[in-house]
Amino acid sequence: MGESSANGSPTSADAAGRALAARVADIAPFQVARVFERARQLERAGRRIVHWELGEPDFPSAPTVVAAGKAALDAGRTGYTETLGLPVLRQAIAERYPAAVDAGRVAVTTGASAALNLLAQTLIDPGDDVLLADPGYPCNQGFVRAAGGVPKRVPVDARTAFRLTLPALRAAWTPRTRVVLLASPANPTGALLAANEIRAIVEFAAAAGAVVVMDEIYQGLVYDERDPDPFARTALGLDDRVFVVNSFSKYFGMTGWRLGWLVAPPWAMDAIDRCAQNLYLAPPTVSQHAALAALEPPALAVHEARRRVLARRRDVFLRGMDALALPVAHRPQGAFYIYADISATGLPAQAFCGRLLEEFGVAAAPGTDFGSHRAEAHVRFAFTVDEADIRRGLERLGAACRAMIGSPR
Amino acid sequence: MGESSANGSPTSADAAGRALAARVADIAPFQVARVFERARQLERAGRRIVHWELGEPDFPSAPTVVAAGKAALDAGRTGYTETLGLPVLRQAIAERYPAAVDAGRVAVTTGASAALNLLAQTLIDPGDDVLLADPGYPCNQGFVRAAGGVPKRVPVDARTAFRLTLPALRAAWTPRTRVVLLASPANPTGALLAANEIRAIVEFAAAAGAVVVMDEIYQGLVYDERDPDPFARTALGLDDRVFVVNSFSKYFGMTGWRLGWLVAPPWAMDAIDRCAQNLYLAPPTVSQHAALAALEPPALAVHEARRRVLARRRDVFLRGMDALALPVAHRPQGAFYIYADISATGLPAQAFCGRLLEEFGVAAAPGTDFGSHRAEAHVRFAFTVDEADIRRGLERLGAACRAMIGSPR
């Protein structure tokens, strides 16, 4: 894409200067996308790269999910569905929550991306403050800005196990705070919020006239419980000012199908429906039919087996990090990321990731993709590759650390 | 969805009053969605309804498109693709334009909906004026408002064959006009813009520092030429301030797959890429593999045959309307809609559509879905059903007209 720079020829730069919206300047590209692109270049040149940069597991969708997609195609399901999704899918999702909700409160969306965007458009006025954790999922700021809101990043770190706490929220609260965005399990740290912490935040926000959007995209991917119900850990039902966002991408292994959902209080559904009609028309049809299978026992057994595989990978990864004496900023209880503190190398995160990739063949995401609070001191490693690649990566990471900071203590 | 009203219990209404964004009040629901829902109710009660309300042809996707989707699933293509789409698909689209464009200028999007939203987010600052035709595609106002822009509807009617003309644009121009949104073929009228008209508008807009977004979603669906090249009628290449939006939904018969594209000038691609990363991550993977087949000769032969079917349906429909002496506001040269003037019935559009459905079993879209300029006097009939249903609908429409305005003259 040699043409794709915003600063091309002088004429183009003039045109861009006149024609691009101001918000564009605030939208940072994902550095991880550049890391991935460079990793692919190196692979094409014959290098063997360990991919720890991507938030996408190496599993294909479960066989019954794929079969359901094909069956939908055979049945000619190629037209639009209802804007908020197939009624049978909304019902299937609604029924799986511990305290079943009315299916009318469920909106099936084109990935959690669409759910987050719809909530931003429905809840945020220009100039509203939205509180969110730093570090956190980078696109959240994009959704807030697209709606004219102001993302206010609240620093979280090891002192609170990377949890966004009520005291930190209180300290960051402004008269313009309209929305609090929580995530559990959280990206990039794998941190979990306890039920009582969420409840306290929801009560505080509700009393202050704000709403809480709970990102449960990694719901079900928790590792310190035996046989967890993938729908058990939810903020749903705490208050009629709580919105829940979820995805078929992570636990259900359906990234490329682009399907997620939200559950909203009844008073917001009509507005969400109208926004979805205008901005999306409907989510992808074949994906919805496939998702029905993702919620059934045969696929759930596959997902549960994969969760166990991920749990073992996490343990291998953490033991390896301990052996390298490279500090893990937070031992993840969920999601599939290790957030590592690389400050001992003396290199800022992007430079560290650059050397790690170029010299040692390991791709990782710099902390600067996820915020600014001590971001230069951190790197995110995704355990979305198999154990052999995790061990291979750990060896290379060890060599990198020896080269950058001397032998491990 | 008994819960989904914005005005539920007093508590909910309070919550809604405090928590919903102001823009929500400006986003009207599609009345056609309500017409469709009521039509389905009547069908479940045993009535036989003629569906002239929906902008979705009755054809399933072409067999080779469905086969390509299934093959992609068999090959395990269930992960994310690049944010701007599979390189091979961007290339395939780029090559099909009469003057081939660089594939780096093509972004594959989650339906034309995503293309329009990305351009709104990339080009519109809060308070900017966006000029667009009234009547026109209803969601366009939603995209403009989502970006904080102000949709300025420019009335078009039979005096200019429903074309948005340069004099009308000049008259509506303000110092804050930043974007002109054109469509050809246009929804709901099927009007085409001539190449020299588009050129004049582009030159005027560029000189005034604005950009032109050209909606070519119905490109290829034109009926007064023999064997048209589906990519021939395009504004692409006129100026480096022209953006083109397109879709696999209409000519290519892939509505439910949610896939479209845009072609932008090189200076805007980096900004579009960053917006797309944040707001969408990537378009649906299986849909992209299927779309590759939609551009190949076997599927193109199917699409061309369907265009001929639609052309014949249009002619049957227009002859029927002539026989009923019900004025066609504009004889459509493209798309698949008849925009009818129902003012002789003395009923406003919504009331007319209500009686037409309840008493005569024909579903149609009221003009008020598409704007405000003489909208109450118009109704949109979609010839997306087969000839038998068109004839059946025409008989019923005749009976309705006799009941409402007496015998046809």
Question: B23-60+300-404 maps to which CATH number?
Answer: 3.90.1150.10
Region A221-227 average pLDDT? 89
Measured between CB atoms, does B10 come within 8 Å of chain A?
A: no
Two domains, one topology: A22-60+300-402 and A63-296: no
* Cross-chain residue pair A268–B70, CB shorter than 8 Å: no
Cβ atoms B176, B153 nearer than 8 A? no
Report cis status (omega within 30 of 0) of the bond before B408: no
Report the b/e string of A100-115 with b at 16+ CB within 10 A. Answer: ebbbbbbbbbbbbbbb
Distance separating alpha carbons of residues B55 and B32, to the nearest angstrom? 10
Measured between CB atoms, does A32 come within 8 Å of chain B?
A: no
Distance separating alpha carbons of residues B76 and A65, to the nearest angstrom? 11
Region B354-373 average pLDDT? 97
Beta strand pairing call for A129-134 and A150-155: parallel
Minimal CA separation from B3 to chain A, in Å: 5
Distance separating alpha carbons of residues B175 and A231, to the nearest angstrom? 53
Each residue's pLDDT tens digit, A70-111: 999 999 999 999 999 999 999 999 999 998 899 999 999 999
Q: Which two tokens stand for residue A146?
A: 């697209």
Each residue's pLDDT tens digit, B237-281: 888 899 999 999 999 999 999 999 999 999 999 999 999 999 999
What's the pLDDT band for B30 if we cut at 50, 70, 90? confident
Measured between CB atoms, does B207 come within 8 Å of chain A?
A: no
Tokens 């944010």 belong to residue: B83
For the entire predicted model, the pTM comes to 0.94
Distance separating alpha carbons of residues B265 and A4, to the nearest angstrom? 9
Region B68-91 average pLDDT? 97
Cβ contacts of A78 on chain B, cutoff 8 Å: 60-61, 65-66, 253-257
- What 3 state SS string does B275-339 have? HHHHHCCCCCHHHHHHHHHHCCHHHHHHHHHHHHHHHHHHHHHHHHHHHHCCCEEECCCECCEEE
CATH topology of domain A22-60+300-402: Aspartate Aminotransferase, domain 1 (3.90.1150)
Measured between CB atoms, does A139 come within 8 Å of chain B?
A: yes
Which residue does chain A place closest to B11, by CA atoms?
A: A267
Distance separating alpha carbons of residues B338 and B379, to the nearest angstrom? 8
Eight-class DSSP state of A61? P
Distance separating alpha carbons of residues B219 and A320, to the nearest angstrom? 57
Distance separating alpha carbons of residues A260 and A116, to the nearest angstrom? 10
Closest partner CB to A241 (pick from B3, B15, B102): B15
Q: Which two tokens stand for residue B54?
A: 């929906």
Q: What is the pLDDT of residue A10?
A: 33
| H-state helical runs in A250-333 | 266-279, 285-294, 297-324
Measured between CB atoms, does B209 come within 8 Å of chain A?
A: yes
* Cross-chain residue pair A277–B240, CB shorter than 8 Å: no
Each residue's pLDDT tens digit, A44-57: 999 999 999 998 98
Closest partner CB to B33 (pick from A15, A77, A277): A277
Q: Is the pLDDT of residue B17 over 80?
A: no
Minimal CA separation from A402 to chain B, in Å: 35
Lowest-pLDDT choice from A332-341, A350-359, B24-33: B24-33
Question: B63-296 maps to which CATH number?
Answer: 3.40.640.10
Report the run of H or E that residue B119 belongs to, with start and end: helix B111-123
Lowest-pLDDT choice from A5-19, A152-166, B309-323, B388-402: A5-19
Each residue's pLDDT tens digit, A124-156: 999 999 999 999 999 999 999 999 999 999 999
Closest partner CB to A274 (pick from B15, B27, B255): B27
Minimal CA separation from A254 to chain B, in Å: 6
Mutate to test the interface with A, among B258, B263, B269, B273 (most CBs of A within 10 A): B258
Each residue's pLDDT tens digit, B348-363: 999 999 999 999 999 9
Cβ contacts of B79 on chain A, cutoff 8 Å: 56, 60, 255-256
Tokens 């009582």 belong to residue: A196
Q: What is the pLDDT of residue B238?
A: 85
Measured between CB atoms, does A56 come within 8 Å of chain B?
A: yes
Region A11-38 average pLDDT? 78
Which residue does chain A place closest to B117, by CA atoms?
A: A279
Distance separating alpha carbons of residues B200 and B205, to the nearest angstrom? 9
Residue B161 exposure: Cα atoms within 13 Å on the Cβ side: 12
Q: What is the pLDDT of residue B91?
A: 98
Cβ contacts of B62 on chain A, cutoff 8 Å: none
Each residue's pLDDT tens digit, B98-145: 988 999 999 999 999 999 999 999 999 999 999 999 999 999 999 999
* Cross-chain residue pair B284–A287, CB shorter than 8 Å: yes
Whole-Å CA distances, A180 to A149, A205, A267, A366, B21 = 12, 7, 18, 25, 15
* Cross-chain residue pair A79–B255, CB shorter than 8 Å: yes
What single string gives the DSSP state of each residue in B57-99?
-SPPPPHHHHHHHHHHHHTT--S---TT--HHHHHHHHHHSSS
Q: Which two tokens stand for residue B367?
A: 């003009």
Tokens 């992960």 belong to residue: B79
Task: Give the Cα-Cα-Cα angle B381, B319, B255 (nearest 5 degrees).
Answer: 35
* Cross-chain residue pair B28–A274, CB shorter than 8 Å: yes
Q: For chain A, what are the domain ranges?
A: 22-60+300-402, 63-296
